[in-house]
Chains A and B, each alone.
Chain A
Amino acid sequence: MMAALTIAMVMQRNLFSVVVLSGVYSFLMATVLVALDAVDVAMTEASVGAGISTVLLLGALYLCGGEEAKPLRRPFVPFAVAIVIVAALVYGTFGLPAFSDPQAPFHTHVVPRYLNDGPKETGVPNVVTAVLASYRGFDTLGEVVVVFTAGIGVIALLRTPRRRRGKEKRE
């Protein structure tokens, strides 16, 4: 279903339906993540992917019009690059351990410590929160700074200075 949706998104020329379809895609992705027991990520995907980014894309669409421009020439080179990258990624998945293999390296490295000692050390039953906020607190700080930088970037790019606005009114 997600593959069909992606193809529909690529074929679609009307950007409004592309935005709506990408919202649907996000919700499907969230259900996949729930099936993988990653409820925290699913929640983020549903709220950010399907909620906020759809609204933001619609806002951007209002500003720039709803029809996709016809490409100037056939995009063969990007298509070939995409095919090569997909092939490389698929080849890479053969090297991964089998799905839910308990002996996989990432299950034997720090995971047992987090699962066994995490609740005792932090007193927080949700391991995801414990890892995010405590064991990997510095990484999360980095993420917050990234979000902060994104906000600052948008403000810097889109805000018209107050002074100039006042001048325009006077003229």
Chain B
Amino acid sequence: MRSEVVLRVVGKLLIPFMLLFALYVQFHGDFGPGGGFQAGVITAAALIFYGLIFGLPAARRVAPDWLVESLVALGVAIYLGVGFAGLALGGNFLDYFVLDPNPVEGQHRGIFWVEVGVLVTVTGVMLKIFYMFAGRSRSGGPDQ
């Protein structure tokens, strides 16, 4: 598909907006529909789109395997970190009220970081699964 001029041009035009929309969905999730999961999927979709148009090696250069794999674990770690932060500051596990002197601010902060954790894990897993499927050749071995 690398020779399709229309796809390449449209892809180059669209992908920045897809990533921007993902960030909007992520950080506007408090006010409108959206949140970490949807934003993660949209981010992964933008990168998968890039991989489909420009080929898997190009996508692997943008988001290398080690990065994607550590994203998978990092998101869960962020989420758990929020939980333990609440514990360390004298509240319950995943207690956001203690994260800030003002409880409402604390809730904001907790929800923000939790959503970041969800975003990171979902992006990593979706990309990893895509790499895994797209990176195999028909004979079953790795395609490189």
Interface positions of A (Cβ within 8 A of B): 39-40, 42-44, 47-48, 51-52, 55-56, 59-60, 62-63, 120-126, 128-130, 132-134, 137-138, 140-141, 144-145, 147-148, 150-152, 154-155, 158-160, 165
Bitwise, B64-93 to A at CB < 8 A (1) or not (0) is 000001001101100110010000000001
List residues of chain A with CB within 8 A of the CB of B52: 55
The answer to whether residues A122 and B73 also contact, given A133-B111, A151-B124 and a CB cut-off of 8 A, is no
List residues of chain A with CB within 8 A of the CB of B142: 160, 165
List residues of chain A with CB within 8 A of the CB of B128: 151, 154-155
| CB < 8 Å neighbour of A43 from B33, B69, B94, B126 | B33
CB <8 Å contact, B132 and A144: no
Within B25-67, the residues touching A (CB, 8 Å) are 25, 29-35, 37-38, 41-42, 44-45, 48, 52
CB <8 Å contact, A154 and B73: no
The answer to whether residues A125 and B132 also contact, given A134-B110, A147-B125 and a CB cut-off of 8 A, is no
The answer to whether residues A126 and B32 also contact, given A44-B37, A134-B111, A165-B142 and a CB cut-off of 8 A, is yes
The answer to whether residues A147 and B122 also contact, given A39-B33, A124-B108, A141-B79 and a CB cut-off of 8 A, is yes
Q: How many residues on chain B are close to A (CB under 8 Å)?
A: 54
The answer to whether residues A52 and B94 also contact, given A125-B31, A129-B35, A133-B111 and a CB cut-off of 8 A, is no
| CB < 8 Å neighbour of A47 from B38, B73, B130 | B38
List residues of chain B with CB within 8 A of the CB of A129: 29-30, 35, 111, 115
* Alpha-carbon distance A134/B110, docked complex (angstroms): 8
List residues of chain B with CB within 8 A of the CB of A51: 41, 45
Q: Does B98 contact A (CB under 8 A)?
A: no
* Alpha-carbon distance A43/B34, docked complex (angstroms): 7
